[in-house]
Amino acid sequence: MGSGATADVFMATQVSVERSVAIKVMHSHLAHSHDFAARFQREARAMGQLQHPHIARVIDFDATGEHPYMVIEYLPGGSLREHLDEQDGPLSPADAVSVASQLADALQYAHAIGMVHRDSKPANVMFVDDARHHAVLTDFGIARLADEAMTATGAVLGTPAYIAPEQVRGERAEAAADQYGLGVMLYEMVTGHYPFRPILCTHS
């Protein structure tokens, strides 16, 4: 289905209940970091506790072996990134506000129980069907796992256009970082472009 900075994603069938699922297989270089398996298990369990209509459900996970993976609900409507690219311009104001409102509700819920996403961007927003009215935020916890694994390299994890200034400086990402990313997404949905030119950088 796709590949990103932290994982490859495959579509599969859960035979016992005959439903489609997505399997997110973490890249092996992340799994080799110190205590990754324990942290992966902790984060996966925390993600599994998230029960919200606009947050992707974690169905199962396995932290053993060279390639830890999570099984999450399959969302066939594609990503917000794909939707914006297909539009080649802004969404309608009503659609933009609807998506942003759903994501804000999901983030508020997660923040209230102490979870921060750290990588709020259109590629991590999926739709439940082709109508694209119901948005779902994916990858809670994945960004934190990768961030901890990459700390020693001095790399800044995240998509430059959406990461908050404190993340660029290498500081801890709090709820405000998610709100920043959501604000950039809303601006892009309404105008069709970023609020500023993103610059890729690292910290040391």
- Asked if the structure places residue 203 within a domain, the reply is no
27 within 8 A of 19, measured Cβ to Cβ: no
- Asked if the structure places residue 157 within a domain, the reply is yes
Buried b (16+ CB within 10 A) or exposed e, 113-134: eebbbbbbbbbbbbbbeeebeb
The pLDDT of residue 142 is 64
* Residue range 4-37, pLDDT digits in tens: 666 788 999 988 888 899 998 877 776 676 667 7
Q: Which domain holds residue 45?
A: 2-191
Hey, how many other C-beta atoms are within 10 angstroms of the C-beta on 105?
16
Whole-model pTM: value is: 0.83
- Asked if the structure places residue 178 within a domain, the reply is yes
- Asked if the structure places residue 198 within a domain, the reply is no
Number of domains in the chain: 1
- Asked if the structure places residue 144 within a domain, the reply is yes
* Residue range 66-107, pLDDT digits in tens: 778 889 999 999 999 999 999 888 999 999 999 999 999 999
- Asked if the structure places residue 60 within a domain, the reply is yes
Angle at 20 between CA 121 and CA 125, to 5 degrees: 10
The pLDDT of residue 150 is 46
The pLDDT of residue 152 is 45
105 within 8 A of 54, measured Cβ to Cβ: yes
Confidence class for position 166, pLDDT limits 50, 70, 90: confident
- Asked if the structure places residue 201 within a domain, the reply is no
- Asked if the structure places residue 56 within a domain, the reply is yes
The pLDDT of residue 39 is 73
- Cα(91)–Cα(161) distance, integer angstroms: 18
CATH of the domain at 117: 1.10.510.10
- Strand residues in 35-124 grouped as ranges (E): 58-62, 69-73
Which one of 35, 85, 119, 139 is the catalytic residue?
119
60 a catalytic residue: no
- Cα(12)–Cα(24) distance, integer angstroms: 11
